[in-house]
Structure 1
Amino acid sequence: MTHDLRPGAARRLLAHEGRVLASFGLWLTRRRHQVGPVDRAFGYAGAQAATVYGLAFVCVVETVGVSFLVRDWPTVHAVLLVLDLYTVVWILGMQAAAVTRPHVLTPDALRLRQGARVDLVVPLDRIARVRRELRFQGAGGAGPRENLELAVGSQTSLTVELTGPVTHVSLLGQRREVTVVRFHADESGDLARALTAALARP
């Protein structure tokens, strides 16, 4: 019998949940996570905002409807209310994490993020080229293992090819070496130009 969860997976999941919930504080105070004074931040949450807020609205409507249906069973009502409200908080937390944890271009690295789930630091001297390339996730199988896709709203808009592998660690702790990273940025043109200029510097 095999197990998908490695030792420490529960700890990693709890840490992820903590980062998601902590993002509310950053969101409310209009701050961003670990963006230095000389760094440039590039958001990516816009592509999923309508979907996230629409889903949250549906969950609120469902919560009200279910509460009305089970009002005669106080215990059931209380349990379902807590679960439904936490679902809404979690959905909004995922958006808060995406807003407050943007991609970051530092003087020596490109930090690619996907909410509180992915945080990949790619040294600039490991980047061979960057290109704008709009791709949509289809129903086909997974791509090569050395390719990492950080899609937002089922799309990526930039592709970075590397001269050598960098290590990606998944949410549950699995490690793999990647040489191509596809990701989304709301202002993909600005990021591509800024990254190209950074790569051109001695």
Structure 2
Amino acid sequence: MKRLLRGVAYAVIPGEVVLVVCLLAGVRLPGPVLAAAEAAALVLLVAEAAVFVRLRRQGHSNRSAVRELVPEPVLRLTGHELKLMWSLVLWVARRRHGVGPDAQAFGHARDQAAMMFGFTFVCAVETVGMSYLLSGWPVVHAIVLVLDVYSGIFFVIGLHAASVTRPHVLTADALRVRQAAHVDVRIPLERIASASYQLLFTHTKEDGVLNLAVCGQTSLTLELSEPVTAVGLLGKERQVRTVRLHADDARALLRALTQARTALSAPPGRPPDRPADRPV
């Protein structure tokens, strides 16, 4: 039943979008076509609601019931958009996500700021230009304006806001590496075999390697004794044993990481050695 509903949704929802665009553009559609489309959408909603209620009665939570009904890529894309919007709120409020009282945060958005703001300016100019060119077609003008403002301005600013408000986070037992709102990997300190400062501007795609480049560069390389799981934007999982990341102050992150690893491995009652600013 769930697979059948998903198949029907894949057919009905795009059809509804096409009908809405046609109606906004002033295209006159036959009455039977509109009636059939609305009937299909209504039946789909009723069926989805019935299955949702049945799943709740079977003991599923609201979240798990929605996951059973909605494909994971759709949920993850929707969640990503919501994270970007929430990052804008955090950025305005000067707050950060996932940084506890006993954690150390290391930003990684400074080197991309000029590029992102420049890209936002270009998108704004393009939006004004398209608005002027399409001023004679009100419906098309409105649709393109909404798409341009959202995807060309708010989306880009949201990406930068997510990078600013979601820094790398170091705690007593793990390093949480992040990139905007789509990468979030927790690495236990005991799995870090070595950490070194290594400035790289070229990254080839390799199995088992996670590159979190900022403006094409990474400055810290972590070699792991055991792999960790990295989840992609659409939910694809892969095991990685090498993580390359960038930080605004990579040497400070390396020193703090070395100190945390030393404290974790030090025998009880013995103070940790003073960390050195060198590969470990």
Q: TM-score range by the shorter chain?
A: over 0.9
Summarize deviations over 1:8-30 as a string: whole Å, max 9, x none.
11111111111111101100100
- Indicate the residue corresponding to 1:154 in structure 2: 216
Instruction: Give structure 1 regions of 4+ aligned residues with deviation exceeding 2 angstroms.
Output: none
Structure 2 unpaired stretches of 5+? 1-70, 267-280
The counterpart of 1:142, out of the listed 205, 226, 245, is 205
Q: Report the aligned-residue RMSD.
A: 1.0
TM-score by length of 1: 0.93
CA distance in 2 between counterparts of 1:11 and 1:26 reads 22
The counterpart of 2:193, out of the listed 98, 106, 128, is 128
Matches within 5 A, 1:1-202: 7-87=71-151, 88-137=153-202, 141-143=204-206, 145-201=207-263, 202=266
Identity over aligned pairs, percent: 52
More strand by share: 1
Residue 137 of structure 1, CA deviation: 2.8
Summarize deviations over 1:122-162 as a string: whole Å, max 9, x none.
00111111100011135xx522x111111111110000111
CA distance in 1 between counterparts of 2:182 and 2:84 reads 9
CA distance in 2 between counterparts of 1:35 and 1:51 reads 26
Residue 163 of structure 1, CA deviation: 1.0
Asked which structure has the greater RCO (Cα within 8 Å, sep 6+), the reply is 1
CA distance in 2 between counterparts of 1:69 and 1:170 reads 38
Summarize deviations over 1:81-104 as a string: whole Å, max 9, x none.
101100200000000000000000
Larger radius of gyration: 2
Structure 1 unpaired stretches of 5+? 1-6
Residue 165 of structure 1, CA deviation: 0.8
User: Which residue type is aligned with residue 104 of structure 1?
Assistant: V
TM-score by length of 2: 0.67
CA distance in 1 between counterparts of 2:137 and 2:234 reads 38
